[in-house]
Structure 1
Amino acid sequence: MILIISSIPFVHNAFAINDIPDVEPGERAPIDSTFHESLSLGLEYVFSEQYERAVALFDSLQKVFPDHPAPYFYMAATYQSWMSSYRFSKFQPELEENVQSAIDIGDRLMENNDDPWLNFYVGAAYGYRGFYRFRKHNWIGAYLDGKKGVGNFEKALDKVPNIYDCYLGMGSYHYWRTAKSKFIKVVAFWMKDRREMGLEQIRFSIDHGRYTSEEASYGLIIAYYDFGWYDKAFELNEIAIGFCDPPTLPALFMRGRLSAHSGRWDKAKSTFEQILNRIENYKYQSVGYQVECKYWIAEALKAEGENQKALKMAQNALEQSLQRDKKVELENPVDNFDEIKKRLTKLHESLK
């Protein structure tokens, strides 16, 4: 999945940032003629969780096109999708290496090449780098990368206004820059709340982007959830469930969380049991993810009046939580493990 999240830019292009084009229903962005076939296959691998095949494909593409940013960016995107889906961080060095290669190669090419797709790939790569700098609390680094990322999206749209995939980056920027975060309090306290504009832009990229529709769907589901539009999130997530068979872990996770939020405990329990069955014996482990699944299963059991089973599950989850090494795991997309652990502890106490 191609997570294109940009931080705070310093300058704005009025058309690219503030407006959504008026286009015909069904109109899509143009293809990247150089990489379209390989990219389409690679995205199919990623969204069906055939990550090793995607890595092999983009590795071969790097050998054929060593001086183009696209293969490096999509390799980074594959690693990011793989790690975030299963919540481990093993490939973070490889992700960062490929992101840096995409930026360096793209910046060098753009000195003598006016291809707008170069701006797109470099902008998206800066968005990635800004995202993991943000996660490491490197506020200034995230700020500068956001400025460069959004600037490249603007340049791409200035050259070819129908590269609608850029609106995923634009919309993510608009939404998350004014969502709650320490970064906003430190750097961006003066900014207007443009979250609804961001939601509209991400929606636009779903409807009209060439390569970002699936990832934009996942991004919009999380943003809807964060914004409190739970019905919209549930409706879109049920569409995402149908993207592939079996459904992706991110789609299942959001189905479980949305079901729990709305009190549909039977659906929540079956969904988190399904996730747990898929991740328990996976070769790259996330203890925190397993603990969270067990917590929600325990909550569902309690809601169904199965208090002894709920207590046993909560006890098991608390014991397993002691094995978690946060340095090798990633957080879920809507809250953090410490919050889940507090809820789990409170649940356990209530059942004793």
Structure 2
Amino acid sequence: MIKRFSTTFFLIISISQAIFAQSQNWVKESIDLTINTKFSQAETLLTNRIQNGDSSLAVHFYYASVLNSKMTHFENTEENQSFYDALQFVINKGEAKLERKDLQEKQKAKTEFYVGSAYGYLAFYQGQIGEWLSAVKNGSRSADYLEQAIETDSTIWDAYLGLGAYKYWLSTKIDWIPFIPDQREEGIALIRKTIEHDSYSKYLAMHQLIYILLDFGEFDQAEELTINIIEEYPQSVFMRWAHSHVFMKKKDFPKAIASYKALLELIDFDPQANPNHKITCLGRLADMYSRADSCDQAIKVVQDLNSTNNNKLVDQNEEVQRLLREVSERCGEKDLNN
């Protein structure tokens, strides 16, 4: 089963790496639908374009991005074959196109961008399912193509996001590979370029940068970005997780509690909610209450958690089990069991 994780490289940019500066309304529409977990509508939008004859790299890449986000959201691999097929289409067609000698610079950069982004998706997915060597190999290919795209056309601002995230997380997460230089500050600077130039992936760049800044210890800067993403996407579970996580990491318990309560409402309202998300949210909310010395409220949340009729999911959720043990230590096991 794919784990939902919100801090590591490719998940947060699951839509944004291939957002080239285009004027088509369908690009932003597909992004907004996916961010708001309206996966079926996003799929329909893109498959209709394909069925109507759109054979571009862009539409197939965005289709793969929707499938990737959907699988990550639901923590499964049900769409993996369609996902692979869409990415292979982008890679095969794009690399064949790059062999042509008559490509203008803009076309060349755009193609390098999509091919690099497709390899980035493969790296993310392979990392998720434990194929680490393949993930590292394709991650390196992704970075090479994105760097080449920027060298060809330095105004491809969305490429800076993918490359910046790669450089940052490679420096921190792949520490078992020798001789990896510390490129964290360079990665942060590259992502800021995407944000500063107001590209389609501006808010996804903010989302990625939030987790990077938390990892880097810049909590106040991360908090500033959460205000922007929630203002733009107030109904997005995806964005609200980041907002809640900032205050949890800052140990600002009142704000964390308020944010997790808002997240819980969004999950309850979402017809495509992952039931495991509600369990995780309740576990974290109970943890925040207990850390804020509000054990009565923590106990109530634990009772709500135990009444979700998802005991199997609760038992399988390692994070929640750990949080429940910690809440029990703070608030008393006897009280939790009453």
TM-score range, shorter chain: 0.7 to 0.9
Cα distance, 1:235 vs. partner?
0.6
**2:33 counterpart letter in structure 1:** Y
Give distance in 1, aligned partners of 2:126 and 2:289.
39
Tell me the residue number matched to 2:175.
184
Aligned partner of 1:344: which letter? L
Which residue pairs with 1:127 in the alignment?
A: 120
1:216 corresponds in structure 2 to 205
Listed as ranges, the matches of 1:91-170 within 5 Å are 91-93=78-80, 94-112=82-100, 114=103, 115=107, 116-170=109-163
Summarize the Cα distance change of 1:77–1:64 in structure 2 as closer, same or farther, 3 Å threshold.
Answer: same
Quote the offset at 1:131 in angstroms.
Answer: 0.8
- Deviations 1:129-175 (Å, cap 9, x if unpaired)? 10111122212201221122122212322322221211111101110
CA offsets 1:185-235 (integer angstroms, 9 cap, x no match) = 1xx221111111101111111112633212111111111112221111111
Residue of structure 2 aligned with 1:324, choices 313, 317, 324: 313
What residue is the counterpart of 2:59 in the other structure? 71
Quote the Cα distance in structure 1 between the aligned partners of 2:307 and 2:182.
42
Deviations 1:11-30 (A, max 9, x none): xxxxxxxxxxxxxxxxxx98
TM-score relative to the length of structure 1: 0.78
TM normalised by structure 2 equals 0.81
Question: Is the 2:20–2:158 Cα contact (8 Å) retained in structure 1?
Answer: no
How many percent identity over aligned positions? 23
Aligned residues: 313
Q: Distance in 2 between matches of 1:167 and 1:63?
A: 32
Cα distance 1:132–1:284, how it changes in 2: closer, same or farther (>3 A)? same
Q: Which moved more, 1:189-198 or 1:257-266?
A: 257-266
The equivalent residue for 2:225 is 236
Q: Which amino acid aligns with 1:217?
A: M
Structure 2: distance between partners of 1:46 and 1:306: 36
Deviates most, 107-116 or 153-162: 107-116
Determine whether 1:259 maps to 2:252: no
Inter-partner Cα distance in structure 2 for 1:349 and 1:261 = 20
Q: What CA distance in whole angstroms lies between the structure 2 residues aligned with 1:307 and 1:325? A: 20
Task: Name the aligned partner's letter for residue 261 of structure 1.
Answer: K
1:311 maps to: 299
State whether structure 2 residue 182 is matched by structure 1 residue 193.
yes
- Counterpart of 1:3? 14
Give the number of the structure with larger relative contact order, counting CA–CA contacts within 8 Å between residues 6 or more apart. 1
Identify the range of structure 1 (281-290 vs 128-137) with the bigger mean alpha-carbon deviation. 281-290
Equivalence for 1:18: none
Q: Any conservation in 1 of the 2:15–2:62 contact (CA below 8 Å)?
A: no
CA–CA distance in structure 1, aligned partners of residues 150 and 229 of structure 2: 28
**Could you say what the CA RMSD is over the residues aligned between the two structures, in angstroms?**
3.0
The answer as to whether partners of 1:224 and 1:230 remain within 8 angstroms in 2 is yes
Gaps spanning 5+ residues in structure 2: where? 1-11, 334-338
* 2:61/2:114 contact within 8 Å kept: yes
